[in-house]
C-alpha cells in the first residue's frame, strides 16, 4: 500500500476545527501554555483533557507546533505559520464576492483591507509590526461575522480598541482613541447653545473644544493630572484650548502707534503704517483686538487707553472725539468675541508721565505727562458715550476705572459722578484701587486678573505685552473629604495637588512654546525691536481654588461668617497655599500666582462630583437641588452681611491672592444716587485694601419698550410683554444673560 503523502497528512491534521483554532490562537496571541489554550477553547479539564491532549499531540507530530521548554508554552513552527496564512488566503478568496465595504473618514466607499488596520496601528500607536498584523487579523475575523451593509471607520476603530483592551494593551488604546462627540451629544450641544442665546459659531467652537479637551487629557497631560481633573480634585480651565493658546493678553498700543501693523504676519496681506489721527489710531486698536482674538482664549486688555490715545486728539472738538469713540466701542462689541478690558487713567501716574509720547505718524511728541487735559477729555468722552450708547447695558468692552490718590481730588468729582451714573444706570464698570504702595504699578482686567511690577521689577515687562497663560482650580472641600477629617492629611493633600497643578501649567507653557516654533501664533509672536511681541516667559500661571467657605464648614461645622476661628482657618488654608506656591516661583519663567479665579461652571461641576462621591449628607452646599461651591470670593455672594464686614474679610484674601481677585458689591435694585455711591467708592479705596471691585445689581430689559428696569421682572410693567424680557443677573465676574421665559432650575 503506497505511503500517504506528507501534504495530505498535514491537511488531515488541520481538518479538525479545534486544531485549526489552536493554530489560529498561537498565530494571533503568540506562545500559549497548555492551560491558556484550553481556556481559550472553553474546554473543561475534568471532561475534555483526553480529547484536548489528542489534538495537541496530532499538531506536534505534524511539526505544526513545538514546545518552548523554557517558558513552558507552545508556539507555531514556520510550517504551522505558513498553514495558517494559507487558510486565511482561502477564507479571503471565499469572501471575495461579498467583500465588505467601508465608509472612510475621507467620505468615500472602499473595499475593506486588513493591512490598512495594521498600518494605522503602526503609524498612530507605534504597535510592533507582528502584533499589528495579529490585531488586524482578529479585527477582520470579527467584522466578517457582522451582517451590515457597510462598515464605518469609527466602528472598525471600536473593534480594534476592544481587542487592545482584551489583550491588556491599554497604552496603545489611548494613542488610537478616536476623538469626537456622539450624535446625541451634538444635538444636546446645539439645543443648549440656542437656549443660552448663543450663535452657530459658539456651537462650532464648543464642539471643537470638546475634541481638544479629549486630546489634552489622553495625549498631552500625564495620567495622574488627567485623572485629577476628571475625578474633581482639580479643574483645568480652558481645557479645549490648553494645547493651543494663552488665556489673556495685555496689549501695548504704543508699539502699533509707532510702527503700524506689519504685513509680515502670515495672517495679514497688507501692512498698515502708523496712525495719523484718532480715527486711524482707534482703527488699528480694533485690528489688534481682532487679530489677537484668533490666538487668545478669553480676555484682552487695552490699559492706559485714554493716555496712549491722548496725543491723537489735538485740534479735535468733543463731538468729533465722541463720534470716533462711539464707532470704536460699537465695533468692539460687535466684532471681538473675547472679553475686552479698557483701562482708564484719571491721572497720569509718575512712571508713565516721563515716558516719550507716541503721536501721529509714529513721531515722538513730548512725554505723556504733557497730555493730562487730553487724557481727561478722552476719559470723560468714553464714559459719556457708554452712557448714551443704548438703553440696555454694554458688557463688552468693560471699563476698568483706575483710582489713584490724585484722582480723589474734588476736580475729578464730575467725571467720577458720571462714572457712577454708569453703575446706577447700567450696572458697569470696574474700579481698581491703586492707592496702596504695592498697587502703584498694577494693571487689572475686568475678570480680576492682576499684573504687578514684582516679577522682573520693570512695569513695562511685567504689565504689558504679556498676559495670563492659564489657570487651574483646586477643589478645597474634596481635599478635606479625602483626608477623612484629618487636618494634617488635608494640608498634605493640598500640597500634593498643588504640585500636580504647577506641573500641568508647566506642560502648557512647554506646549505653547512648541506652537510658537510651529508658527501657529503668528500675531502674538511677531517681533517688536527684536523681541516677540507677547512675552510668554512673563505670562502668569494662576493657581486658584473653589469652596473655601464650604471647606471651613466641613472642618468646623460653621461658615466663615460665624466667628473668628472660622475666618482664621480660612486664612490659614489660603496662606499655606500661597507660601507653598512661592517655592515654585523660583523656577525661571515660572510666574505662578495664587488667585481667586471666577468660574461658576467649575464650582458647579466640582460640587456635583463631590455629591456623587460622598453624598449630600457630607458635602456642605447651600442649595441641595443645585449644588455649587463658592468661587472668586471668600464670602459667598448673597450673604446677609454688612458692607464693612464684607470688605474687611475680602481685603485679607485679596492680599494673599496676588494673581487675580475681584469683589462684587451688591447695591439695591432700585435707582440709587450716583453722588452717594461715589462717596461709598471713596470710602472703600481709602479704608480697605480691596484691589478690584465692582457694583452689581439685577436688571431686566424689555426689547419691545427699549427700557431697562431694576430687579428681575417676569413681564414688562410698561407694555405687559413676557417674551421680550431679558434678565441680567450678576454671576461671578460678569452678568448672566437669560430670557425671562427660561427656567433657572
Instruction: Point out the residues of the chain with pLDDT beneath 50.
Output: 1, 97, 741-745
Enter the DSSP assignment of 342: E
Query: Rounded to an integer, what distance in angstroms lies between the CA atom of residue 92 and that of residue 476?
Result: 60
Task: Give the position of cell 445689581.
Answer: 697
The string of pLDDT tens digits covering residues 450-459 is 999 999 999 9
Nearest Cα residue to 426 out of 381, 391, 379, 399:
391
Number of residues in the chain: 745
CATH architecture of 6-89: Orthogonal Bundle (1.10)
Query: Rounded to an integer, what distance in angstroms lies between the CA atom of residue 383 and that of residue 161?
Result: 60
What is the pLDDT, as a whole number, of residue 742? 42
Helix (H) or strand (E) holding 401: strand 398-403
* Whole-Å CA distances, 380 to 224, 256, 315, 431: 52, 24, 17, 15
Query: Rounded to an integer, what distance in angstroms lies between the CA atom of residue 118 and that of residue 244?
Result: 31
* H helical segments located in 586-696: 600-614, 643-656, 674-687
Sheet containing 430-433: which strands, arranged edge to edge? 248-251, 299-302, 339-345, 398-403, 430-433, 692-696, 663-666
What is the pLDDT, as a whole number, of residue 267? 56
Nearest Cα residue to 569 out of 557, 581, 579, 583:
557
Query: Rounded to an integer, what distance in angstroms lies between the CA atom of residue 659 and that of residue 602?
Result: 18
Nearest Cα residue to 465 out of 263, 301, 298, 266:
301
Domain boundaries, given as residue ranges, for the chain? 6-89, 99-176, 222-243+467-661, 248-465
Nearest Cα residue to 310 out of 407, 255, 378:
378
Residue 361 neighbours by CB under 8 Å, 6+ apart: 273, 274, 275, 276
pTM: 0.80
* In contact, 64 and 79? CB cutoff 8 Å: yes
What is the pLDDT, as a whole number, of residue 743? 34
CATH architecture of 222-243+467-661: Alpha-Beta Barrel (3.20)
What is the pLDDT, as a whole number, of residue 551? 96
Query: Rounded to an integer, what distance in angstroms lies between the CA atom of residue 35 and that of residue 415?
Result: 88
What is the pLDDT, as a whole number, of residue 265? 59
Nearest Cα residue to 100 out of 139, 73, 45, 59:
139
Sheet containing 101-103: which strands, arranged edge to edge? 109-111, 101-103, 151-152
Compute CA 174 distance to the chain's CA centroid, rounded to the nearest angstrom.
22
Angle at 13 between CA 10 and CA 15, to 5 degrees: 110
Asked whether the bond before 16 is cis by omega within 30 degrees of 0, the reply is no
Report the 10 Å Cβ neighbour count for 560: 26
Tell me if domain 6-89 and domain 222-243+467-661 are identical in fold: no
Residue 18 neighbours by CB under 8 Å, 6+ apart: 41, 52, 55
Amino acid at each position: 500500500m503506497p505511503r500517504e503523502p506528507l501534504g495530505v497528512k498535514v491537511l488531515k491534521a488541520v481538518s479538525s476545527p479545534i486544531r485549526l483554532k489552536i493554530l489560529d490562537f498561537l498565530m494571533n496571541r503568540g506562545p500559549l501554555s497548555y492551560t491558556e489554550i484550553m481556556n481559550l477553547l472553553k474546554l473543561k479539564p475534568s471532561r475534555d483533557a483526553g480529547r484536548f491532549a489528542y489534538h495537541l499531540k496530532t499538531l506536534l507530530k505534524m511539526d505544526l507546533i513545538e514546545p518552548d521548554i523554557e517558558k513552558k508554552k507552545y508556539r507555531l513552527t514556520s510550517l504551522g505559520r505558513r498553514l495558517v496564512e494559507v487558510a486565511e488566503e482561502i477564507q479571503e478568496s471565499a469572501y471575495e464576492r461579498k467583500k465588505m465595504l467601508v465608509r472612510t473618514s475621507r467620505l468615500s466607499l472602499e473595499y475593506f483591507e486588513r493591512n490598512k488596520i495594521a498600518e494605522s496601528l503602526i503609524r498612530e500607536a507605534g504597535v510592533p509590526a507582528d502584533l499589528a498584523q495579529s490585531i488586524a487579523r482578529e479585527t477582520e475575523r470579527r467584522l466578517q461575522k457582522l451582517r451590515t451593509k457597510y462598515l464605518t471607520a469609527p466602528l472598525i476603530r471600536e473593534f480594534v480598541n476592544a481587542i487592545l483592551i482584551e489583550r491588556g494593551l491599554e497604552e496603545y488604546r489611548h494613542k488610537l482613541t478616536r476623538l469626537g462627540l456622539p450624535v446625541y451629544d451634538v444635538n444636546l450641544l446645539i439645543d443648549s447653545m440656542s437656549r443660552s442665546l448663543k450663535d452657530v459659531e459658539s456651537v462650532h467652537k464648543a464642539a471643537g473644544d470638546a475634541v481638544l479637551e479629549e486630546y489634552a487629557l489622553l495625549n498631552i497631560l500625564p495620567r495622574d493630572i488627567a485623572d485629577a481633573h476628571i475625578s474633581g480634585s482639580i479643574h483645568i480651565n480652558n481645557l479645549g484650548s490648553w494645547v493651543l493658546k494663552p488665556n489673556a493678553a495685555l496689549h501695548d498700543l504704543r508699539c502699533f502707534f509707532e510702527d503700524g501693523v506689519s504685513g509680515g504676519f502670515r495672517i495679514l496681506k497688507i501692512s498698515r503704517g502708523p496712525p495719523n489721527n484718532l480715527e486711524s489710531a482707534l482703527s488699528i486698536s480694533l485690528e489688534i483686538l481682532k487679530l489677537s482674538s484668533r490666538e487668545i482664549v478669553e480676555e484682552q486688555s487695552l490699559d492706559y487707553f485714554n493716555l496712549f490715545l491722548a496725543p491723537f486728539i489735538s485740534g479735535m472738538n468733543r463731538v468729533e472725539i465722541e463720534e470716533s469713540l462711539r464707532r470704536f466701542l460699537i465695533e468692539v462689541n460687535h466684532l471681538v468675541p473675547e472679553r475686552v478690558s479698557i483701562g482708564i487713567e484719571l491721572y497720569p501716574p509718575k512712571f508713565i508721565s516721563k515716558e516719550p509720547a507716541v503721536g501721529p505718524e509714529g513721531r515722538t511728541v513730548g512725554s505723556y505727562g504733557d497730555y493730562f487735559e487730553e487724557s481727561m477729555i478722552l476719559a470723560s468722552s468714553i464714559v459719556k458715550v457708554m452712557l448714551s450708547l443704548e438703553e440696555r447695558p454694554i458688557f463688552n468692552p468693560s471699563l476698568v476705572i483706575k483710582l489713584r490718590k490724585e484722582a480723589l481730588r474734588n476736580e475729578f468729582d464730575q467725571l467720577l459722578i458720571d462714572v457712577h451714573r454708569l453703575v446706577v444706570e447700567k450696572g458697569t464698570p470696574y474700579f481698581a484701587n491703586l492707592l496702596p504702595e504695592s498697587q502703584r504699578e498694577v494693571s487689572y482686567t475686568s475678570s480680576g486678573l492682576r499684573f504687578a511690577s514684582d516679577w522682573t521689577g520693570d512695569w513695562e515687562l511685567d504689565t504689558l505685552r504679556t498676559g495670563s497663560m492659564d489657570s487651574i482650580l483646586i477643589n478645597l472641600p474634596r481635599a478635606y473629604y479625602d483626608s477623612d477629617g484629618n487636618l494634617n492629611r488635608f494640608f498634605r493633600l493640598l500640597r500634593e495637588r498643588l504640585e500636580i497643578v504647577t506641573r500641568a501649567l508647566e506642560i502648557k507653557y512647554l506646549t505653547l512654546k512648541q506652537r510658537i516654533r510651529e508658527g501657529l501664533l503668528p500675531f502674538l509672536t511677531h517681533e517688536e525691536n527684536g523681541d516677540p511681541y507677547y512675552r510668554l516667559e512673563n505670562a502668569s500661571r494662576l493657581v486658584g481654588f473653589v469652596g473655601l467657605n464650604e471647606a471651613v464648614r466641613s472642618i468646623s461645622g460653621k461658615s466663615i461668617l460665624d466667628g473668628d476661628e472660622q475666618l482664621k482657618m480660612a486664612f490659614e488654608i489660603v496662606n499655606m497655599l500661597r507660601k507653598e506656591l512661592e517655592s515654585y516661583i523660583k523656577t525661571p519663567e515660572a510666574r505662578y500666582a495664587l488667585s481667586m479665579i471666577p468660574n461658576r461652571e467649575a464650582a458647579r461641576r466640582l460640587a456635583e462630583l463631590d455629591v456623587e462621591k460622598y453624598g449630600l449628607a457630607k458635602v456642605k452646599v447651600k442649595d441641595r437641588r443645585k449644588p455649587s461651591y463658592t468661587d472668586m470670593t471668600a464670602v459667598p455672594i448673597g450673604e446677609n452681611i454688612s458692607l464693612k464686614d464684607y470688605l474687611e474679610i475680602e481685603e485679607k484674601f485679596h492680599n494673599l491672592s496676588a494673581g487675580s481677585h475681584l469683589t462684587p458689591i451688591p447695591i439695591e435694585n432700585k435707582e440709587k444716587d450716583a453722588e452717594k455711591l461715589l462717596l461709598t467708592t471713596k470710602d472703600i479705596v481709602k479704608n480697605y485694601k480691596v484691589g478690584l471691585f465692582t457694583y452689581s445689581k439685577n436688571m431686566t430689559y424689555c426689547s419691545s419698550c427699549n427700557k431697562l428696569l431694576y430687579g428681575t421682572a417676569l413681564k414688562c410693567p410698561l407694555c405687559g410683554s413676557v417674551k421680550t424680557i431679558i434678565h441680567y443677573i450678576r454671576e461671578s465676574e460678569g452678568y448672566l444673560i437669560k430670557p425671562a421665559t427660561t427656567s433657572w432650575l
